[in-house]
Every structure is written in C-alpha cells, then in structure tokens.
Structure 1
C-alpha cells in the first residue's frame, strides 16, 4: 500500500467522478495492464476501482467512481469528502480481468462497467486488432467518457436505454466470428444476459468482471469444519462452519491479503496444494475452477476434511 495524492477530480457523467492519483514525491507508480484495479482505503473500508487511464503513463493512475445510492459508503466518501490535494492510501494494482491476445474483440459495457474496457480498447487500437464496443446506460448523460470514446467513430455503439431500449445483444453475439474475445462488465442483469445468450461458450471466449458477487450455489458438504494447513508457515488451523478461510488465516496473523471479502476482487487468491475445492467466487473461470490450482479464501471452502495452501 502507498499513500498517493489527488491531482484532479472531474465529472465524467451524472454521478461519475474521475479521480487522478499521483505520488506526492513524483516517484513512478507500478506498471499495470488493461483490466487492472486498485484498492482505495476509505473511511468506509477498502473499495476496488478499475484503472481507466493510460498504462503507458507511470506518473498517474486514474479511476472513475460512480456515486452508488444505498451503497456501502465508499463512493459517497469520494464524492462528498475527497478533494484535490488530499492523500489517499491505495493498494495494488491487481488484475483479475486481464486482456488475452485475440484476433478480434467485442466489448460490452453497462454503465460504470465501461471503466476497465477503456484501456483495453486503447490497447487493441494501438495493436491494430479489430474491435467494437456496445455501451449501454440509462441515459446518455449518465454514461461516462463519451467524449473520449467519440474519437473511435462508429466502432463505438452508444445505446442509452431511454433512446434505444435494452441492448440488442443478439445483433452482436449471433454469428460472432470465431476467435473473438468477448469482454463484458456491468450490472448483474447484463452479465447474466450475455452469459445466457449461449448454452455453452467456447473455452476462453467470454470474460466478465462483476462489481457485485454472483449467486453461487455452494456444496453443502463444504459447510462444515475442516482443517487448513499452511505449508510455508508450518501451521495447521481449524476453519469452523460459517467462518471463512480468510478470516481464520488473518486472525492467526499469517497473512493480511483481504480486500473485498466478497469474492470479486481476487486479492486473496491463493495457490492450492491439496484438497477438494468448493469455489464460490466471482473471479475464476470455469477452466480455472476445474484446474483447482488456486482459490479465493474469502468465500470459497473445502469439501474435503483437509486443505493445504501455499501460505
């Protein structure tokens, strides 16, 4: 974690503020790739925001914060209390939504979900890879970064719901060219609609990022006590039913890796050495879950009596 300073705050849309962060001493910031996010440590807790600036710039990070009515308080603090010149503790960057190499891309955004896609689009553009963006929102005035996106012409399809109705996913997804990588970020309803458009997506085609946890039906067999062995630490701990692995590990003072505690940010992803896993996160793909090489300690559990982690 590092303490950065707010250099600029700017309205990007109704209820959307972009915040540009810099190191107060001018020290270059860590590099990042499209899809990465950082953790803002707010009085309401740690909140994750996608980096939506230029990865080639080491002098600043930019995030965009939607004021979420009835949220957990982090976005309200940014909007109501944070000001230019003030310090902000920031962790990361981390990337659980990395851009894969593909012959073409289809980006689908809903509302503030456009933020992680902006640097992806810039990367594809500079690499000369064909792409299109389908971007929906409630109203045109609520949709961020329209000015920046206008530079790409008709490859960007702006579809406010009050003008066009719901996004026409069939027009984009039916007849999708082989090899196209689909990246979707937005509200749960949009992600469910995209995921459900095909009974089975070809492996590696669809990539999604959620701001809220997906509904995951866990294995009832995992809702009981089990042991977790921390191989590098030489410690074995009991994980009681109803208590997360992450809570047990952090309470034991072995690691401090939690951030969202909802299975959405990927900060607590840990290598698994042995154990039958019950994945309940919203980060890992189906292939990654089947491989069983890692798990999110904050929500996932073990369906066998013992779990061995590389901690």
Structure 2
C-alpha cells in the first residue's frame, strides 16, 4: 500500500494504518530528535510525545504524501522546546514548564473516531499502577498540572514527572503493539454509577453509598493526608451538605482498577466561599470496589 493510502486510512480511524505509518517513520523521527538533543532520554521522550501529537492531529495533514516530513517536524519542534528549557539559566518554580507535555493535549482529545478513542484507553489500561493513575490524571482530567497530581497522589512533583515520562513511553509502545488487535470496550455506566452514588450521598443514603462503592477496610486520603475510612467520608459529606452546599458531577472516567470523578461544588448564596470550586475523587479498585480513595480540592484561579 502506498503511503498516501495509509495516511487516508489512518485519518478515517484505522488504528492499524496509523501504527504502520508510525513504524515506517520511527527511525527518522528518532534520528531527528538525536540530531537536536543528542543520545539521551530527552530525545526518546520527544519522539514519544510526537507520536501522541500526530495521533491527535493527523486529520490536519492536508498532503498525505508529506507524512514523513510532517512527523519529523513535530519531533524537531518538541526537541527544540526541550533544548530551550534545559538552556534556561533562571530557576523555574514549576518543573512542569521543563517539559512540553501540554503541547500534546489529552491523548483522546480530538480523536473523532470511537475506535481510536477505545484504542487509546485500552493502551492506558495496560500501564502499570501507579503510572496509570498519574497518566489518567494528566491526560484525562482537568486536575492535570504536576502540582495537582502530586497533591492528589501524595507524592513529590519529581515523582509525578518521572511517572509521566515512563507512562508516555509505555503508552506509545502499547499503542503500536496493539493497533491490530485491541479489543472493543463497552462504554459501561461509569457516569451513571458516579452520579447515582453522589446523589445517594446528597440525600443522606450513606448505607447505599458505602455498601455499593467501598470495601469495609477502604482508606481515604485528602491531598495526601490520611483521613480515615469510609465513615470519615460520611462526616465530610454531612458537614458539606448540612451547610447547604450541592455537589454536581462534571466528569467521570475509568481505566483498569481505576475510577476518577470530578465534581463541582455549588455554595449557598449566603456562604459563597464555604467550599472550594470542586474536588477530584481517585478510586483505586479491588474486585470492583474502592480500596483507596484519594481526594483533592480544586483551587480558585
């Protein structure tokens, strides 16, 4: 098959075609990164980021015969961003600025074909824990800054950075390896189950909420600090709802043994600052129920 046909098939959502295209140009992409950055880890990371960018933006490629130069241009831009970051002489407060991860966006963002989205999420499922947890937060939620992820997971920012580096590499390898055989995934009822659980808490039906979601020995942490077991969550919710605050589900996503909810708080008019704007709930599952719930607040601004 000529390259233009491969590109068009990939643009139509053929995951195997995208994998063929990526493998065909992988050596050239690596050579480009090494030419800018030398033989080091940053060169490999620049290639991995470029793969995710290319997957999302392939529909923007107008000339299918120019795929090779387009891919190497993405790598070159990534490599130059990294080179400029390393060359900075002024200390950077936020280590996130040292990596151009945000350029890639969420891996499933902009993927119009359901098959491609499923392919990405299946690849994420294959990542080891806790790398998968970090990748899901980074790429599939709005709690995506290094600082926010560190708060949710209770780890240093440097650990977040290293997990994401390992995650990007593993994710790209898995995508290329599974393009021909990834299983179709049922959409499931992730949103409906999350909304029903939050609604049960809002009406005070804590027995239903705890019994259907948590293991009896589940542990909870808030911004990295232990807060007890499921009964501690009941106390938090009673205090919140008793003050007239409402919680609304904004997003729910799932990966293997991982469930993430994002909720917004709606404060009463007479106490508009009672709660922060929202909260993230990261459920680590065992046998389908929450074994560890990690929570963190969204901050205004």
TM-score, normalised by the number of residues in structure 1: 0.23
- Find the structure with the greater CA-based Rg: 2
Higher strand proportion (structure 1 or 2): 1
